[in-house]
Amino acid sequence: RKEVEQDPGPFNVPEGATVAFNCTYSNSASQSFFWYRQDCRKEPKLLMSVYSSGNEDGRFTAQLNRASQYISLLIRDSKLSDSATYLCVVNNDYKLSFGAGTTVTVRA
């Protein structure tokens, strides 16, 4: 079983829509969690950290469910510029495990 699993999508949504997707992780001792964004095979960049209480950053909301071992990302009011691959990342004591990514395409 992979350490981090994501629905690859693609999620194809119109501008203004809300899109949400999850990622599951296998190691219950994982310490911290992140969502990264990657454009067209460029380098990944941090979108947001995920905190136990859930957190928002503008149109983006991240949730963590430790009991069920999943992390979610919700994007509200989608923009064309949100089109990217979103990587779920889990930290296990110096070692980051990456999901394969969820592709989101926002259409006009």
Partner 1 sequence: NAGVTQTPKFQVLKTGQSMTLQCAQDMNHEYMSWYRQDPGMGLRLIHYSVGAGITDQGEVPNGYNVSRSTTEDFPLRLLSAAPSQTSVYFCASSRRLAGGPYNEQFFGPGTRLTVL
Contact positions vs partner 1 (CB under 8 A): 4, 8, 31-32, 34, 36, 41-46, 49, 87, 89, 91, 93-101
Please, what is the minimum distance in Å from the beta carbon of residue 106 to partner 1? 22
Closer residue to partner 1, CB minimum distance, 17 or 70? 70
* Strand-pair partners of 78: none
Please, what is the minimum distance in Å from the beta carbon of residue 71 to partner 1? 14
Distance CA 91, CA 38 (A): 18
Please, what is the minimum distance in Å from the beta carbon of residue 25 to partner 1? 12
Q: Are strands 32-38 and 55-57 parallel, antiparallel or unpaired?
A: unpaired
For residue 45 the two structure tokens come to: 């960049």
CB 72 within 8 A of CB 20: yes
| Residue among 88, 59, 58, 83 nearest 72 (CA) | 88
Please, what is the minimum distance in Å from the beta carbon of residue 103 to partner 1? 11
DSSP-derived 3-state class of residue 73: strand
Closer residue to partner 1, CB minimum distance, 49 or 61? 49
Closer residue to partner 1, CB minimum distance, 31 or 65? 31
